[in-house]
A = this chain, B = another copy of it.
Amino acid sequence: MSEIDTNSWRGIHLELLRRINEREWPPGSAVPNEADLAAEFGCARTTVNRAMRELADAGLINRRRKAGTHVALHPTSRVVLDIPIIRLEVEQRDAQWRYGLLSQEILAAPARITSRLGLERGTPMLHISSVHFANSHPFLHEDRWINPTAVPGVETVDFATVNANEWLIQNAPYTSGDIAFSAMNADKALAELLEAPEGAAVFVVDRITWNKNEPVTAVRLSYAPGYRMHTRL
């Protein structure tokens, strides 16, 4: 009915979205095949395919050859989080970023790190502890372990002048990774670093990256209380 519908890829995408949202095609029901839709819209099948692929990527429909396309029964919402460099994250909040190195040394890595990375227990690794500030207030604590084998030359970097977060992104590519978000009570040491009361709820990001099955780095970011990670659906 609506004449606003151009026969562009985006137009078709919106129209299909509408039919799903308004239960014209209820959850679980079959969607016409690409050829039929192309005929209905008077466009090439490729165009319909593009629109449908977008819906499939968003988890709204399921597609299988021969079985056809069906509206998802439980449309799990798919959220995309952009995790920028910490400096940019601070600056995006219109705050001034500052960085302070607490320690940088080669240590035998504790078991909780080596086991998750699949390294020998006690493997020597570069440990870096630092704090990022926003307008002179602690923003987060960065606790990082780097596998020197995977990042040649890292031992010679002075992480007092360059922050590890940024240096690694520029110099240590990764092919896969693993990320987890959780909440923790700040222990005494962390509370002091974040200038927060002991026991305060802290938003924690744990992240591990590999480069072709070789572990690169494991990092824990502990955000100062009040931090919110936000995005659109």
Contact = CB atoms under 8 A, between A and B. Distances in A.
B27 A170 contact: yes
B79 A83 contact: yes
A176 interface: yes
Contact of A231 (B179, B199, B211): B179
A177 B166 CA distance: 31
A21 interface: yes
Nearest to A200: B185
B84 A81 contact: no
If over half of A's interface residues share one DSSP class (helix, strand or loop), that class is named, otherwise mixed; here it is: strand
Contacts of A226: 182
Given A78-B80, A82-B59, A88-B74, A180 B229 contact: yes
Contacts of A81: 78-81
A173 B84 contact: no
How many subunits of this chain does the assembly comprise? 2
Interface residues of A, number: 55
Nearest to A203: B183
A74 B180 contact: no
A204 to B, nearest CB: 7
Given A76-B88, A79-B179, A182-B228, 13 more contacts: A20-B173, A21-B211, A74-B84, A74-B88, A77-B177, A176-B233, A179-B232, A181-B181, A182-B203, A182-B226, A185-B185, A185-B201, A201-B202
Interface of A: 17, 20-23, 27, 59, 74-85, 88, 166, 169-170, 173-185, 199-204, 207, 209, 211, 223, 225-233
